[in-house]
Structure 1
């Protein structure tokens, strides 16, 4: 059994190495599949928006960014994030990574903006114990600022331009790990059973996604939550009672994820020209991460579940699923991003992957 798990792990690693090498070889920029790419999310997508905030949720120091070409940027991993992967030349056709709202300027916004902020969720209060953050509702307000600037540049063509862009939204993880499962700080677990909480989250999410649509978004990718109950920090805090992960957290996450497909159907049916789609990161995780259970501990040395500044991380980062207590390594992000762009299994996306969505 151990030999089987070892060999399986190396098959996964070798397949990811092939993806990385093919990314590096594909430096020639083809035609962009969409004119711009807007990103909304939490620390899994944040690429620098939290750097200057008064918050514990920031990653603007080594050893974060150790494998990223630009070094330390504020990404909560050793290299690229999941949302970086679809933008590369071999996928959506961008020659640069999308810039954070905090620093994007001038014509840069015409190729897109990343609004993501570590620690946030669907609910405004989520992550408040961490300090300052840019909630999803605030990210939507920041997008209005961008829309105004695009309007100044493109005039009457701005609306049609924004309709053609790609939008990705990854929200909800912190509504569990930095809200519902922190009963000493938040009351949500007292007010709602897990089923009820999933309903409450989905209702607010529905309204926020409709707001994004009203701002001109038509091609919208909704990322499902991953196996957050398998994160080293979660396992350390809650224990597993003999399981590989914290089952009660993964079960709660599934209640939320199971409501996303019906939400996608509803939005697509009721909103003119809407093309929402769902990426099943939980299912992708279950298919890809079990082989890496041998190395599910954090790659970097952690304090308060974040990398200790300037400490040397593990040498063979391809063998680790998690970089710190919560966030995946670039290898895992590459797996997520590649399968979000082009589904490996039919179950990876619904009703279509990012590649097919771009073509619509």
Structure 2
């Protein structure tokens, strides 16, 4: 059976290599890429929803191909695209809910992510977006479509051998806990972090039950240093908010520990935790060393509070296109394409551990 699966995987990869793309003709590192989470990895799924958490209008996408806003929460490409590219799968990762999705898109992977969501179902309810559990239902539907296209055996191999990337938790901590305070009535910070990590653990277990074996879970950035946090709770100097950063560090530590245990508990799995906290702290503290002249405000509008619908073509003070790369943040939550690229490039070695055999 293992030999047959290996043969199927080779056939899949040969088919992908034969498809003309803008990428190098080197062999793809995986059959597909499947992504779950929030606005950091949403490439346009929220476009089909009636929600204020959207980015399918200018100036979002002003540096994207064709200068088109696609629902990506930045001026250009997102981590989903960049990961697909460095894995030599394809240049752009389409959203699963796009109406013009093609069979080839399904075979090589999609993003199920929904901006505004989190591990806490309340977070998605507030934002009126797809929950993380809705995304699991999309994955089930995706597999049925994949089976119809490629057959049961090939679909199983694609899902088993493809990285399943998860990025979530920011909206839970910032929006649901600190900004709206809705969860503060029930939880203190440590207990809420434990609640989120329990949910993240359940999510990874469910992915495993659906056939995923290579799973990459990203930790969170320093949430107290995003422009919106500085504006809301950073005082007159808009300093980083230490309380938010401490909650983030606690979440990252507990999540990392839990994922290590899952690697032991889930037979045949390769589950990787990817840390980005220190990388982004370095970009903030030493911005000029990396070519960033502004690290506390976004490019869009004043850069202090604008995001989603408040970041639009009528927002005053938006930085000129020629200066976008000088900004670490695009809006008050999301980095610029250049900043995203620096982060993803920095974690490639961590990410590639998902392909290593246990014990190496």
Match of 2:245 in 1: 250
| 2:325 equivalent to 1:318 | yes
Moved over 6 A (4+): none
Q: Distance in 2 between matches of 1:266 and 1:243?
A: 39
Task: Determine the structure 2 residue equivalent to 1:308.
Answer: 312
d(CA) in 1 for partners of 2:90, 2:293: 36
**1:135-174 correspondence to structure 2 within 5 Å:** 135-157=131-153, 158-174=155-171
Give, in angstroms, the shift of residue 199 of structure 1: 0.7
| Secondary structure at the counterpart of residue 329 of structure 2 | coil
* Local SS of the residue matching 1:259: helix
SS in 2 for 1:181: helix
2:197 — aligned with what? 202
* Mapped contact 1:165–1:219 kept (Cα < 8 A): yes
Q: Is contact 1:119–1:133 with CA below 8 Å preserved after alignment?
A: yes
Q: Does 1:52 align with 2:72?
A: no
CA deviations on 1:153-185 (whole Å, 9 max, x unpaired) are 23231212210011100010000112001345x
CA-to-aligned-CA distance 1:264-311 (integer Å, 9 cap, x gap) = 211100001110101111121122221228512110116753412355
Q: Mean alpha-carbon deviation: is it higher for 238-247 or for 225-234?
A: 238-247
Deviation readout 1:127-157 (Å, 9 max, x if unpaired) = 4333x20110000110000011112223231
Residue pair 1:83, 1:337 contacting (<8 A) in 2 also = no
Unaligned runs of 5+ in 2: 1-21
Q: 2:27 aligns with which of 26, 31, 37?
A: 31
What's the Cα RMSD here?
2.0
> Which residue matches 1:66?
62
Q: Which runs of 5+ in 1 are unaligned?
A: 1-25, 343-352
Q: CA deviation at 1:243?
A: 7.6
Report the alpha carbon displacement of residue 109 of structure 1 after superposing the two structures with TM. 0.4
Distance in 2, Cα, partners of 1:87 & 1:154: 21
Deviation at 1:359, TM superposition (A): 5.2
Contact 2:42 2:114 in 1 (8 A): yes
Q: TM-score with structure 1 length normalisation?
A: 0.84
In the other structure, the counterpart of 1:295 is: 294
Partner SS state of residue 321, structure 1: strand
TM-score w.r.t. the length of structure 2 is 0.84
Q: Is the 8 A contact 1:33 1:359 kept in 2?
A: no
Give the SS at the match of 2:195. helix
Post-superposition shift, 1:354? 2.0
Q: What is the aligned residue count?
A: 320
Residues 95-110 of structure 1: matches in 2 within 5 Å? 95-103=90-98, 104-110=101-107
